[in-house]
Amino acid sequence: MTCSSLDAIVAVARSAPPERWSVGPIVRRDLERFAVVTGDAVSAERLAAGGDEAPPMYLTSVLDWGDGEDRAGVRTDGLSPREAPHIGDHDVRVVHGGQRLTWHRPLRAGADRLVAERSVVRAEVREGGRAGRLALIDLETRYVHVSDGMLTRCREAIMCLPSQAPVHAEVRPASEVDAHARFDVEDRFDERRLIRFSAVTWNSHRIHVDSTVACQQGFAGPVVHSTLHGTLMWRAAVAARGHGAIPVELAWRNVAPATAGEVLRAAALPVPADAQRMELLEWAADGVVTARGSARFGPIAGPGVGHRARADRQTGAVGMVERGARS
């Protein structure tokens, strides 16, 4: 039954049309809370000083911009249909595998007339690996200001694992990194911070806040959000680069789960052949690598004129666009 569920999920995803929905409002208080809970001191200081620029990771971390779903529309794992696109009520474990983010212009507090455009890039059933057979849905979401053009482009992977998939101890490999290795940032996301991050990003996935559900799904405790791994690696890149430099592109892949209370460390390493690029590595205190990624610095490319014109033609009254959610 589980194998047929994976095939059914892939079939639905492959035939799904693109989605569009309104984004916002962009509330300053939410930006401040996001910066505090993620440990983004750079953004927190700028906002405290009167700036209006949002933390770069904020826009793509929020799962739902609407009113939410009633109880009947929510999966047993806590995800609504919009938070788990194309997955339905199949008995699978939903895991986010990482993202690739490209920033074209900053998001600012009070911004309106924003839309998101999401489409399925790839959907397939994969065999093998530590997690066994799984369904992979690769999504691309573009966040657009209907007058000014592209804000952010997000490419992300969602994995659907059988409910009988290996437990945490089998998925998490042995130590890979010297526990005394150099690192640029260190942080500890305890259960309180996971709850607050779920709240400010409207993330209802119970594995992040419910110890019982997390353990039932084979984890050692509440699971650190995929996007929290991303924020830590972003902080490492900023710290290593210095001089107030901010990446224009960030990508990471989650390779092992981390649970509430673990000390996580991230390092950004220069790439000799490319002065604008850094390799990123995140690991737990016991040396287990939990995420790998990269960051690219340089001038923001800016939105394409063609995409801005297309958004204007297709959007019209933004407030009437059907609501949806990033996964």
How do residues 135-172 score in pLDDT, each as one tens digit? 999 999 999 999 889 999 999 999 998 877 666 556 66
User: To the nearest 10°, the Cα dihedral for 36, 38, 44, 47?
Assistant: -90
How do residues 61-72 score in pLDDT, each as one tens digit? 998 887 776 666
Does 99 fall in a domain? yes
Does 39 fall in a domain? yes
Does 325 fall in a domain? no
Identify the domain containing residue 255 by its residue range. 2-320
Does 19 fall in a domain? yes
Say if strands 274-284 and 263-271 run parallel, antiparallel, or are unpaired: antiparallel
- The pair of structure tokens assigned to 221 is 């405790």
Spell out the per-residue pLDDT of the chain, length 327, in tens. Answer: 456 899 999 999 999 999 999 998 999 999 999 999 999 999 999 999 999 999 999 999 998 887 776 666 788 888 877 778 899 889 898 888 899 999 999 999 999 889 999 999 999 999 866 667 889 999 999 999 998 899 999 999 999 988 776 665 566 666 677 766 788 999 999 999 999 999 999 999 999 999 999 988 888 899 999 999 999 999 999 999 988 889 999 999 998 899 999 999 999 999 999 999 999 999 998 889 999 999 999 887 654 434 443 444 343 333 222 323 333
Decide: pTM greater than 0.75: yes
| Separation between Cα atoms, residue 42 and residue 239, nearest integer Å | 10
Nearest alpha-carbon partner for 55 in 152, 184, 185, 199: 152
Does 327 fall in a domain? no
Which CATH number belongs to the domain containing residue 211 in this structure? Answer: 3.10.129.10
| Structural domains of the chain, count | 1
Does 326 fall in a domain? no
Q: In Å, what is the CA distance from 217 to each residue of 94, 164, 302?
A: 10, 8, 42
Does 116 fall in a domain? yes
| Separation between Cα atoms, residue 119 and residue 273, nearest integer Å | 34
Does 295 fall in a domain? yes
